[in-house]
Every structure is written in structure tokens, then in C-alpha cells.
Amino acid sequence: RKIFRFDTRISKVTPDTLYFSEKTGFQKIVPVKIPLYVTTSPGFDYKQPVISPNYITIWGDTSIIAGIDTIYTQPLTLNNLSENVNSNISFIRPESNVYTSATSAHVFIEVARLVEQTITLPVNDVRATPGEMVNIYPSAVRVRFTSMQNTLDQGDTTLFQASIDSRKINRRTKKC
């Protein structure tokens, strides 16, 4: 029992020799990376690819495993995308005696049409001096930008600003 490190009862052994095998060496969890080369059709863009699994377990000889910090897949090249992509990609084993908990990774790339958005922003003075009045004309500006369809949250536009620095006004022309 001490030799096997588990409770057992041997009733009969045939042939007269037993071989016990277990995983030896070292194991660790490493991130998965996909060499990804993507271009989209005009008027389209893509979101950050979703990779599954993000991490896998590798095992093998301690000296080899110690030098591995990432497992890569085969490269994936996609051109002129205009629709979503789902793909399974095989891992590249760094050495023949390095083993992985999975044989491939799944990648999902969401592709969407670019749409033009317009918002109106007030123009603010970033260095307003107390007691000094500055007339800003125009008092608001329209900003036009593109974003992926169905991905723009109106809360994202709160980060947009239009501003002037009234300390940089040319006193002769009265313009910034």
C-alpha cells in the first residue's frame, strides 16, 4: 500500500510483471495566442477576437516546459471580411514531447458595418479667467465619426469634448 500510495487489493497477477505509468515531469498553465492577420471589406470593421480556451495546461520534461510561456496556434489570415467568423485552429506543439490539454483553439470574430454618427458638443473654455468674459462663436460644434453598427453606447460620447484656451487669444484679431 505504501508503494502504490492508494488502497488496493491484488487478487491475481498475470503475467508476473506489472508496469505502472504516470505523467512525469512538469506541468503549467500558459496563455494561448493566435497569429491573426485580418482585413475587412471597405465599410466594415471587426471587434477584438474571442479565443477559447484562453489558457491551456501543458506538460512534459521540466527543462523544456520551464522555457515555454505561451502556446501559439497555426496562423489565421482572413481577407475582405464582411461577416462574422468562427474557426478552429490547431496548436503548434513547441516540442514533440510537450503535451497539451487541448488540440485546438476556437476563435470568434464579430464583423459589423461601419456607420456614420453625428453629435453636437458645446465649446468650453478650459482656462476661463474669473471676471473676464469670453464670447465663443460658434458655441457648439458638430462632430462626425464612424463606429461599428450596434456597438456605440451613447455613454461613450460623454468622453468627447470641444474646448478652447482663452489665454491663447490673439488680442489684435481676438481669435484663438
Express each pLDDT in 8-56 by its tens digit: 666 776 766 655 544 557 889 999 999 999 999 999 999 999 999 999 9
C-alpha cell at 92: 503548434
Rg (CA), the chain: 31
Q: Is the Cβ–Cβ distance between 162 and 122 less than 8 Å?
A: yes
CA distances from 104 to 52, 57, 110, 162, 172 (A): 9, 12, 20, 48, 69
Which residues on adjacent β-strands are paired with residue 87? 107
pLDDT digits (tens, 9 = 90+) for 136-145: 788 889 988 8
Return the residue matching grid coordinates 485580418. 38
pLDDT at 2: 52
C-alpha cell at 141: 460644434
pLDDT digits (tens, 9 = 90+) for 79-134: 999 999 999 999 999 888 888 999 999 999 999 898 888 888 888 887 777 777 77
DSSP 15: S
Residue 3 has pLDDT above 70, yes or no: no
Q: Choose among 122, 132, 136, 121: nearest CA to 176.
A: 136
Q: Which residues have CB under 8 Å from 113's CB, separation 6+?
A: 43, 44, 148, 149
CA distances from 172 to 3, 71, 133, 158, 164 (A): 96, 64, 17, 35, 17
Whole-prediction pTM value?
0.64
Alpha carbons 33 and 145: distance in angstroms, whole number:
32
